[in-house]
Structure formats: C-alpha cells, structure tokens
C-alpha cells in the first residue's frame, strides 16, 4: 500500500482514534500539571526514539505525539496557565483549522480559492467595522501579530518612500525613523531589522504612569529628528501592551501624525478584542483614525495559532506594496475585480487562516464573544479583589485582566520576587511570570482562558497565598 494514500477505512479509523485522544486532552486539561519538568535529555530522547525509516502505524504515531505533549509541554489551554495571551482554543475554531488542513485550499490566487478568499474578505470587512473603519477597509490575514506589524512597516515605507520598492533603502537621502513606546512589542524592532531599516531607526518613547506613550516626548523626538535631517514616517501605537496592559492615547497620537505627516499604525494584537464589546470599546477610542491596525485572533478570540490580521484604511496600499508580476500564476480572474492574495501579502502560498475565525463567528457569534470577553474582564477584577484582600498590591493600572502584583514589603526585592515565581511555577499547579512595572519587579497573572472562572480564581489565590505563607 502506498502510505501517502490512506484508504477510506484507515482514514476513518485514524480519525476516530485521534478524536478520542484529543477529547481526553481537551476534557481533562485541568488534571494535568500546568508545566513540565524541563529536561532536555529526556525530551530529545523521546523525540528521537522513533524510527523514521520504514514508518510506524498511525495510532502509534498519534500516541507518540500525544505523550510528547503530555510530558514535555506547558499546557497553555490549562485554566491555571496565567501567561502570555495563549488561550485555550475554542472548539469551532479547532474544527475550522482541521478542515483547512484537510481541504488545503491555495489562497494565493483568488481563482483557485474564491470561497476562501471571499470568507477572509468578509471577515476583514466585518471586523474592520468593529474597529470603526469605513466600508472600504482592506486587510490581510497573517501568521500572527509579528507578520501584521511587519506588513505595517512595509506599507508605510511604500507610502512615504515609493522608490524603495525598486531601488531599495540605499536610494534614500534621509534616514527613515519611526516611533513606538518602550512598552511596545519587540516585533516592531524585529520588523525594523527585517525591512533593513535597522533597530536604530526605532525611537523608543518613554511611558506615563499608566504605561501609555508619553506624547510630549514623542513630539520632541520627532522635532529633534527633523532638525537632524532624518525623515520621521511612522508611529506604532499600542492598544493593550503585552506586559502590563497599557493603552496609548490614540487621538493625541493621531493629531501628531497629521501635524508631521506620519503613518499611524496601532498594534492591538491583544487589546483589539475590546472592539467586540460595547462596554469596553472605549478603550480603543481613536483606533478608527489609524492608517492601519494589527489584530491577533489567536489571542483573545481563542483560535489556534497562527491567526493575525493586518487592517488598513488605504484600499490600495497592500497592492502597491506587494504586487509582483509572475507569469506562472493563474490568470482566470484577470478581468474580475478581485485581489490575488499573493499580491496582498508577505506570504505567497498561504493557509486558509481566516477559516478558524469564520467558523468561530458562525457558531459563537459576535454576541458570544462579547459575553466571554466581558466575563474575562470580570474575572480579572475578581482576581484583583482576592489578592488585595490578602495584602497584595496591584502595580499596573489597566482595565484589562492583566494583574501585575506584589507585596509592598517585597516590591523592591527582585531576588525574592523571582524566587517566589519560580516556586509557584515549580509546583506545576499554576503558571505566572514576572514583569517590571516602572522598574519594580512584579508577579504577572493574565486571564485569557474561558475556563478560568470564579472557582479557579479561588484556587489561584489559595496557591499564591499558601506559597507566600510557607515563606
Ligand atoms: C503578541 C503580541 C504581538 C506579537 O504577535 P505574535 O502573534 O506573537 O506574532 C505583537 N504585539 C502585541 C501587542 C502583542 O501582544
């Protein structure tokens, strides 16, 4: 039998076996230790202890993989994983991503995948409207927030320095510079590296007490760069910073962008989900004025990685930036008013990323998401209350369910704080991290799991308090 070509009974039996294993994982996640004992020898032994020569049975292969996950992973779907915006994936999105794998549409050319391309266009339009963009919002699904931010840099370079597409950065007589707060995500720096601007082209702007970009310093850095003969072209604002959940003042940044003729990009990878809630949308005030926005569905919308989106209010900029002439690409839709994804994206062959979100929205709906997001806000506040009742103090100032806390008597003791977090994490019952808030090291706990509810908050408070009491 050609092992690339499973017959129908083998396929059905493999799926049935897999579904049972996945159900066991999904249903019993909470009974597993949140995180593994890190042992590189054991994990490499497991990885390599399988023959790649002649093939093993599919069920055996599934068991091997599931055992690897079981023993050697942080279980980010665990409700006591309080980490880095890695949610538990919702089930419709898991099904959607499985369909994308099985049908495997090629997104690159519209004429190869009209249904899939129109699904993505529809979702971008609908979600774009949630951000307040007008009808002609354009965008592209990306591998994640990093690719969306890189797309933003590419588009802004194309807009202000059109010669770069042909002649490269060396054709410029002024150094392009961009601005972002020191709390922004480091994918902005990485994008500066990838685009060839270099890290030194990124001006890191100080933040205020609430972790928002200091607009006065932003303006004086712009003026300083102008006086040095540089060419400021872009501000990357953040709506929901990764560490402590700060929101930049988008309306104020917009005014500066107009005054100095700069592209305004808003990185709302995580916080953008507030657009789905009538109650919390105000946190994004001004986002509709942005030239472009980054959003990650694989964060608060709990779809599997990777699922980022780049939105822009400039309907032609993606085409201008990425269009190539390639004679081998299909031509059937040439006369139609459609866009080929390969002319719109950094990627060429591309997975049907939008399906997992389309599937989620069909089944959960905007309303279901809104309720779930509001619940996460409530749980975040509940956690704050529990911690404050036991003498912990919260050091960050955000509405988001990101809690950076410590004991007032320990806040300047970095060694103690690190040891305390290590102790919690080595219990394997809870995963938290550390984050410096204005130079003081705190314990960071973030709610991104729809299973983290009242009962879990009790368990979290109990684990943290008893670890503290044990000294
Ligand atoms: C997570 C995050 C990113 C990076 O997104 P990836 O999907 O991990 O590539 C960028 N910006 C912010 C604010 C983020 O929280």
Is the shortest distance between the CB of 308 and ligand 1 below 6 Å?
A: yes
Answer for the pair 55, 427: CB distance below 8 angstroms, yes or no: no
Distance 216 CA to ligand 1 centre (A): 26
Distance 363 CA to ligand 1 centre (A): 26
pLDDT score of 116 more than 80: yes
Model confidence band, residue 2 (pLDDT cutoffs 50, 70, 90): confident
CA angle 386, 391, 393 (to 5 degrees): 85
Q: Residue 381: its pLDDT value, please?
A: 98
The DSSP line for 212-264 is -B-HHHHHHHHHHHHHTT-EEEEEEEEBS-TTT--B--HHHHHHHHHHHT-EE
Q: Residue 463: its pLDDT value, please?
A: 98
Distance 189 CA to ligand 1 centre (A): 12
Q: Please report, for residues 162, 170, 287, 344, the alpha-carbon distance to residue 167 in angstroms, rounded to integers and kept in the order given.
A: 9, 7, 33, 20
**Tokens describing residue 449:** 């799991």
Terminal Cα-to-Cα distance of the chain (whole angstroms): 62
Distance 278 CA to ligand 1 centre (A): 24
Q: In this prediction, what percent of the chain has a pLDDT beyond 70?
A: 100
Q: Residue 336: its pLDDT value, please?
A: 85
Q: Residue 135: its pLDDT value, please?
A: 76
Q: What is the mean pLDDT of residues 85-101?
A: 97
Q: In sequence order, what E strands does 138-199 have?
A: 138-142, 176-181
Distance 102 CA to ligand 1 centre (A): 28
pLDDT digits (tens, 9 = 90+) for 237-282: 999 999 999 999 999 999 999 999 999 999 999 999 999 999 999 9
Pocket mutation for ligand 1, best pick of 83, 152, 187, 248 (most atoms within 8 Å of C-beta): 187
Total-model pTM: 0.97
Cα within 13 Å of Cα(27), Cβ side: 6
Atom of ligand 1 nearest to the CA of 270: 15
pLDDT score of 202 more than 90: yes
Q: Residue 45: its pLDDT value, please?
A: 97
Model confidence band, residue 327 (pLDDT cutoffs 50, 70, 90): confident
Is the shortest distance between the CB of 86 and ligand 1 below 6 Å?
A: no
Is the shortest distance between the CB of 120 and ligand 1 below 6 Å?
A: no
Helix (H) and strand (E) counts in the chain: 15, 11
Model confidence band, residue 118 (pLDDT cutoffs 50, 70, 90): very high
pLDDT score of 401 more than 80: yes
pLDDT digits (tens, 9 = 90+) for 34-85: 999 999 999 999 999 998 998 899 999 999 999 999 999 999 999 999 999 9
Distance 411 CA to ligand 1 centre (A): 28
Atom 3 in ligand 1: residue holding the nearest Cα: 145
């Amino acid at each position: 039998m050609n092992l690339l070509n499973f017959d129908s009974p083998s396929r059905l039996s493999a799926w049935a076996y897999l579904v049972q294993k996945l159900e066991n994982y999904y249903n019993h996640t909470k009974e597993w230790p949140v995180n593994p004992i890190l042992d590189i020898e054991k994990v490499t032994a497991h990885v390599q202890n399988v023959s790649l020569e002649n093939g093993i049975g599919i069920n055996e292969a599934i068991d091997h993989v599931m055992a690897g996950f079981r023993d050697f992973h942080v279980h980010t779907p665990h409700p006591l994983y309080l980490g880095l915006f890695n949610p538990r994936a919702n089930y419709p999105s898991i099904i959607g991503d499985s369909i994308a794998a099985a049908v495997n549409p090629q997104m690159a050319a519209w004429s190869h995948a009209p249904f899939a391309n129109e699904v993505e266009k529809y979702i971008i339009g609908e979600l774009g409207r949630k951000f307040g963009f007008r009808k002609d919002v354009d965008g592209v699904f990306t591998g994640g927030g990093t690719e969306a931010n890189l797309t933003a840099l590419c588009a802004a370079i194309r807009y202000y320095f059109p010669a770069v597409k042909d002649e490269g950065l060396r054709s410029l007589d002024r150094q392009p510079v961009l601005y972002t707060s020191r709390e922004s995500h480091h994918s902005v720096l990485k994008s500066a590296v990838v685009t060839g601007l270099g890290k030194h082209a990124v001006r890191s702007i100080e933040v205020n007490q609430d972790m928002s970009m200091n607009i006065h310093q932003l303006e004086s850095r712009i003026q300083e760069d102008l006086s040095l003969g540089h060419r400021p072209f872009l501000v990357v604002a953040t709506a929901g910073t990764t560490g402590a959940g700060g929101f930049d003042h988008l309306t104020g940044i917009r005014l500066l962008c107009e005054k100095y003729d700069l592209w305004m990009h808003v990185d709302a990878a995580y916080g953008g989900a507030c657009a789905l809630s009538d109650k919390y949308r105000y946190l994004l005030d001004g986002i509709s004025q942005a030239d472009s926005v980054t959003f990650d569905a694989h964060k608060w919308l709990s779809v599997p990685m990777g699922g980022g989106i780049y939105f822009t209010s400039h309907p032609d900029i993606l085409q201008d930036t990425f269009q190539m002439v390639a004679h081998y690409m299909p031509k059937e839709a040439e006369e139609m008013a459609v866009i080929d994804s390969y002319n719109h994206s950094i990627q060429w062959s591309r997975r049907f990323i939008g399906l997992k979100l389309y599937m989620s929205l069909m089944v959960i709906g905007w309303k279901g998401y809104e309720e779930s997001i509001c619940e996460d806000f409530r749980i975040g506040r509940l956690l704050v209350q529990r911690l404050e009742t036991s003498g912990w103090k919260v050091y960050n100032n955000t509405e988001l369910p990101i809690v950076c806390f410590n004991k007032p008597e320990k806040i300047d003791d970095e060694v103690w704080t690190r040891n305390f977090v290590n102790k919690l994490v080595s219990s394997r019952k809870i995963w938290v991290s550390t984050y410096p808030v204005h130079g003081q090291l705190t314990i960071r706990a973030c709610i991104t799991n729809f299973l983290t509810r009242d009962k879990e908050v009790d368990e979290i408070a109990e684990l943290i308090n008893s670890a503290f009491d044990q000294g």
